[in-house]
Amino acid sequence: MARLLTFIAAVTALCLATLAPPAAEAAPARIRVLYLDQSVGWRHAPVTRPKNSNGPTQSELALAEIGAKSGFTVESTQDARTITPEKLKDIDVLAFYTTGELPIPAETWAAIQKWIESGKGGFVGLHSATDTHWDYTGPGQTYTAFINGKFAGHPWTQGTPITVQALGGKDPVNTAWPARFAYAEEIYQYSDYDPTKVRVLQALDFTDMALKRPWFVPITWTRQIGRGRVFFTNLGHTPSTWDDPRYRAQIVEAVRWTAHRAPGAAKPNPDEQALWALRSLLAYDGRPKAEVEARLAKLAKADSAWLRDAAARTAALRPLWPAKPDSDKAPFEAAYKAVLADVVAKSDG
């Protein structure tokens, strides 16, 4: 009888163990972010400490707050020397809101690149991270080549009305923003920008903007380097942007994506960028939006090589832009009219 009871108890225990819900999986480790908001050049309001205080900046407070709500920790510093090869072992994402020539030694920048390429770390660049540079001749890329652009002026200053358009299809990093929306921000244009290296997710649409330029102006992009992920957005100049829940949500998704905790895309979209460059050209010429759309529909069928060449010609207009009202406009006008004529001819009929 005792053996029978023991057998029944064993069977019952086995059944209960089988029916019991599986043990909850351990929560993933929190993403560790090191945020550098050092200004060697111009200092923006979101990275300026309170007057007569060493307290946190607006952006530091914002990142700490959204990090606490979203599963990542943030260590903030205004000293680039905090970043060392050893420090990289303790973080998952490096974020920059910086200006000027940062004091980053060659061995540290080489280590950062290796850390990212291996997939052990990710990079998030905010607003003026493209107004940052330093001399580097070591292995890998310069910082400018790495982030894929260098500040070359901002015709769209703080408070300028802009229209932002999503590119690259639906992407989790962009989900908080509408596909198209009006905003007011300071927006950069770039030198040293290679459209074949990045996937642009947001750009200016000049078809209904007052201040236009005849070249492509990307705002947000992603990039894959080896197994590592890089994100950049030019948004974030204006303090009110840091209070915008959509911008905060975009930063959260950028951190999660660069840390390999969220899906997203980084495959370059140079042909789509080329079409938007030609859209900028036609809009600058004052063409009605309906005509611009009709011509773009035809240009979308053009050969990829032709599209990219035409877009490159529009990008070459930027350094020809008259620097002052009394500057010689002839070189710009000649190049502008030549590429415009070719684009119009290609989209006629």
Q: Of the ranges 6-10, 77-81, 129-133, 146-150, which one carries the lowest mean pLDDT score?
A: 6-10
Hey, is 123 helix, strand or coil?
strand
Q: Which whole number is the average pLDDT over 232-247?
A: 97
* Residue 184: per-residue pLDDT: 96
Q: What pTM was estimated for this model as a whole? A: 0.91
Tell me the H-state helices in the chain.
2-19, 58-70, 106-117, 143-147, 239-243, 245-258, 270-284, 289-299, 304-315, 330-347
Q: Are 123 and 93 in contact (CB under 8 A)?
A: yes
Hey, is 177 helix, strand or coil?
coil
Q: Which whole number is the average pLDDT over 3-20?
A: 44
Q: Which whole number is the average pLDDT over 167-171?
A: 88
Q: Are 109 and 136 in contact (CB under 8 A)?
A: yes
* Residue 10: per-residue pLDDT: 46
Q: How confident is the model at residue 170 (pLDDT cuts 50, 70, 90)?
A: confident
* Residue 24: per-residue pLDDT: 52
* Residue 143: per-residue pLDDT: 97
Radius of gyration of the chain (CA): 25
Hey, is 178 helix, strand or coil?
coil
31-36 and 93-96 strand pairing: parallel
CA separation (Å) from 232 to 13, 89, 90, 159, 305? 55, 23, 22, 21, 27
Which domains, ranges and CATH numbers included, belong to the chain? Answer: 31-258 (3.40.50.880), 270-347 (no CATH)
Q: Which whole number is the average pLDDT over 256-267?
A: 95
pLDDT digits (tens, 9 = 90+) for 180-227: 999 999 999 999 999 999 999 999 999 999 999 999 999 999 999 999
Q: Which whole number is the average pLDDT over 339-345?
A: 98
Amino acid identity for residue 92 in this structure: D
- Choose between 1 and 30: higher pLDDT: 30
Q: Which whole number is the average pLDDT over 150-173?
A: 93
Q: Which whole number is the average pLDDT over 310-317?
A: 98
Mean residue pLDDT of the chain comes to 92
pLDDT digits (tens, 9 = 90+) for 17-72: 444 455 455 667 899 999 999 999 889 999 999 988 889 999 999 999 999 999 99
* Residue 117: per-residue pLDDT: 98
Q: Are 167 and 241 in contact (CB under 8 A)?
A: no
